[in-house]
Amino acid sequence: MTIEFLHTMIRVSDIDATLRFFVDGLGLQEVSRVDNEAGRFTLVFLASPDDIERTGFDTSGSPLRSGLPMVELTYNWDPEEYSGGRNFGHLAYEVSNIYDTVEHLAKMGITINRPPRDGRMAFVRTPDNISVELLQKGDALPPKEPWASAENIGSW
């Protein structure tokens, strides 16, 4: 099994102030932005200039599967108060085989909160209730039971 860190997501209430902090304050660079009208949110992906150089990332490409460690800022357009750590979203890891990974975790007694019905993405939680996103490396795998028909359990 292989695993690679992808990104950490945090929810933010003021995108401009947060970008000033990370970009002007810490020196991170914006590598991607998605404004989703239907979902009423904006995603901004940031990375350090050193990581961009080290990975050889081309800032004109998509960063999501680039091996570039990032911070994802999620700005929901409708005001929402984040309590109980809800502003911290999740850790994300790329895995070599999503089905093998979730089967291994399930055998360990770990609940698969969002099963990989699509052969691409699953969510689990740490013992401290931190959400972890697992993404299939490369293309999605063909749907496979029992995961294809498994329901969500709890929140993710």
pLDDT, one tens digit for every residue, the chain (156 residues): 788 888 889 898 889 999 998 998 888 899 999 999 999 999 999 998 988 998 888 777 677 667 789 999 999 999 888 776 777 878 888 889 999 999 999 998 999 999 999 999 999 988 768 788 999 989 999 999 999 999 999 888
Residue 81 lies in a domain: no
The domain total for the chain is: 2
Residue 29 domain boundaries: 3-76
Predicted model pTM: 0.69
Residues 101 and 155 in one domain: yes
Residues 11 and 67 in one domain: yes
Residues 9 and 72 in one domain: yes
Environment class of 43 (CB within 10 Å of its CB; exposed 0-12, middle 13-18, buried 19+) = middle
